[in-house]
Amino acid sequence: MNKKEKSLIIILGIVTILVIILIIVFSKNKMNLEDKPEANIETNAEKYVAELSNGTRLNVSEQLNAKKTYKSLEITNIQYTEKDGESLLLADITNKGTTTHETEIVKITILGENDEIITEIKPIIGEVKAGETIKLNASITADIVNAKDFTIEEIN
C-alpha cells in the first residue's frame, strides 16, 4: 500500500467512527424525548390566547378586539387578559355623540367559539361627555379569556 491508500483508509475509518457516534447520540436524544410523560409536553388548545412572558394570557381574537359601538359610544383599544385566575377587560370608550352619556350599568356577554354564552358581566360605564374618552375596566374572577367575541347591550 502506498501513502495515498493509507491516508484514504484512515480518513474512511475516521468518517465511519464519526457517523457511528452521531447515530448513537441522536438515538439517545430520541429515546429521551419519547420517555418523557405527556404531562410535560406543553400544548395550547386555546385558539384565541397568546401567553406573554410574564405569564399573562392575552386574547388575540380579531372579533373580540374589533371596534364595537353602543349607542353613541365607540369602544376601541380592547384588551382582554387573564392572570392568576382573574380575567380583565380593558377598553377605551369615546362618546361620538353630541350629548353627555350618563353613567350606566351595561350587560357584556362574553361569547365562545360557536357564539355560545360563556358568561355575562355588568360593568358600569361612567359619565362620558361629548367627544370625551374614558376607560372601561371590567374584571371577572374566573379564567374565561379564551373567548371569540363579546356583545354589549342595555340592561332593561
Question: Which amino acid, residue 82?
Answer: E
For residue range 51-96, list pLDDT tens digits in order. 888 889 998 999 989 999 999 999 999 999 999 889 999 999 999 9
Helices and strands of the chain, counted as H and E runs:
2, 10
Residues 6+ apart with CB under 8 A from 121: 89, 107, 108, 110, 138, 140
Measured CA to CA, the distance from residue 73 to residue 132 in angstroms comes to: 10
Global pTM?
A: 0.67
Half-sphere exposure in the Cβ direction for 3 (13 Å, CA): 0
- CATH code of domain 49-154: 2.60.40
